[in-house]
Structure 1
Amino acid sequence: MTRNRDHLLAEAVRLREGGRREEARQRLLALCEQFPTDPEVAYQTAWVHDALGLEAEAVPHYVRAVEGGAGSGLSPDDRRGALLGLGSTYRVLGRYPEAVVTLGDAVAEFPDDAALKTFLAMALYNTGRAHDAMEILLTVLASTSQDPDIVSYRPAIEHYAKDLDATE
């Protein structure tokens, strides 16, 4: 049964990656019926819905994929991707408080992930927390940029990230 599931799941992922998203969606929905508690199937199903612009339909699949925490059955990379997908999808749907909670929890779980921090900053901005959003973005910029101009101003950027209203 697992071997068949693995084969069918891999085939659906190949379809999605090959641009045959609707066909992949149909196959993944069928897999969801067969394996309703499988986090990998749920994650891939959410992903294909997102890729098709069906964000509202993606949410319950993302939720199912990440429930159970770090021991949900997803690899760390897939869990990180599912949390980012769920948080981003909440934001796109205007569900900003849920996006902030999801992405904030994800950043706590994966503190070195700059993409999660960036999406959290966008969600914070959407909730009126522009100062917090700028602090995160400036910190990410200072710590990840290889641009020589940014690198030369890294200490100043890091300083202002902590206190954007500082004048010195």
Structure 2
Amino acid sequence: MNGDQERETALAEAVRLRADGRAAEARVQLLALCERYPRDAEIAYQTAWAHDVLGLESEAVPFYERALSVPGLPAEDRHGAFLGLGSTYRVLGRYEPALRTLRRGLAEFPHDPALESFLAMALYNTGQGREAVRTLLRALAATSNDPRVRGYRRAIEQYADDLDATQQP
């Protein structure tokens, strides 16, 4: 088996272990793969994810950062890395890096409701409640399938921009 096949097989096995609820075993394999392939974005991302699943958020951060700093991460995984890193920073109380990361994610994946939701939480954590509500209202208006919300979409979007608006008598 050549190096690429070995990498693919080992990575697939580690991902399967994590998916099967054996994240601790996956973590061990992924850490070994990171040693062997230090500039592999996909391996770094999967390693970060395994750490997050195990509640090892602080240890996940450098792997998320690595995954986003080197080329080669497929778009879906890149989206997941922005979401994972941003939410991990927020959980760790590192709100400013969370905001930067989630905004970077939204620059690449505009109007993504998952990124917007985590951005809203980080905005709230930094005392920016008005912007947090605005962000959530826009995401709700854009993504809700509820017919009543859809019926008021324009009004929700309008009020999101001016939360204090009232009708004058």
| CA distance in structure 2 between the partners assigned to 1:36 and 1:80 by the alignment | 21
Alignment deviations for residues 107-163 of structure 1 (CA, whole Å, 9 cap, x no partner): 111103111111111111111111111111001101111112211221221111011
| CA distance in structure 1 between the partners assigned to 2:149 and 2:101 by the alignment | 30
Residue 14 in structure 1 maps to residue 16 in structure 2: yes
Residue equivalent to 2:164? 165
Residue equivalent to 1:64? 66
Alignment deviations for residues 65-109 of structure 1 (CA, whole Å, 9 cap, x no partner): 0014xxx21011110100110000000000000000000111111
- TM normalised by structure 2 equals 0.95
Residue equivalent to 1:151? 150
Structure 2: stretches of 5+ with no match in the other structure: none
| CA distance in structure 2 between the partners assigned to 1:147 and 1:17 by the alignment | 32
Alignment deviations for residues 19-68 of structure 1 (CA, whole Å, 9 cap, x no partner): 01100000001111111111111000000000000000000000000014
> One-letter code of the match for 1:44?
Q
| CA distance in structure 1 between the partners assigned to 2:121 and 2:107 by the alignment | 17
Alignment of structure 1 residues 34-73 onto 2, 5 Å: 34-68=36-70, 72-73=71-72
Which residue, 15, 28, 32 being the options, matches 1:26? 28
Aligned length: 165
| CA distance in structure 1 between the partners assigned to 2:58 and 2:145 by the alignment | 37
Alignment of structure 1 residues 66-145 onto 2, 5 Å: 66-68=68-70, 72-145=71-144
Aligned alpha-carbon RMSD (Å): 0.8
Which has the higher mean CA deviation after the structures are superposed, 2-11 or 146-155? 146-155
| CA distance in structure 1 between the partners assigned to 2:99 and 2:120 by the alignment | 9
- Percent identical pairs in the alignment equals 62
Structure 1: stretches of 5+ with no match in the other structure: none
Q: Would the aligned equivalents of 2:111 and 2:139 in 1 still touch at CA under 8 Å?
A: no
Secondary structure of 1:107's partner?
helix
Deviation of 1:16 after TM superposition, in Å, equals 0.1
Which has the higher mean CA deviation after the structures are superposed, 73-82 or 143-152? 143-152
Q: Would the aligned equivalents of 2:89 and 2:95 in 1 still touch at CA under 8 Å?
A: yes
Flag as ranges the 4+ runs of structure 1 deviating above 2 A: none
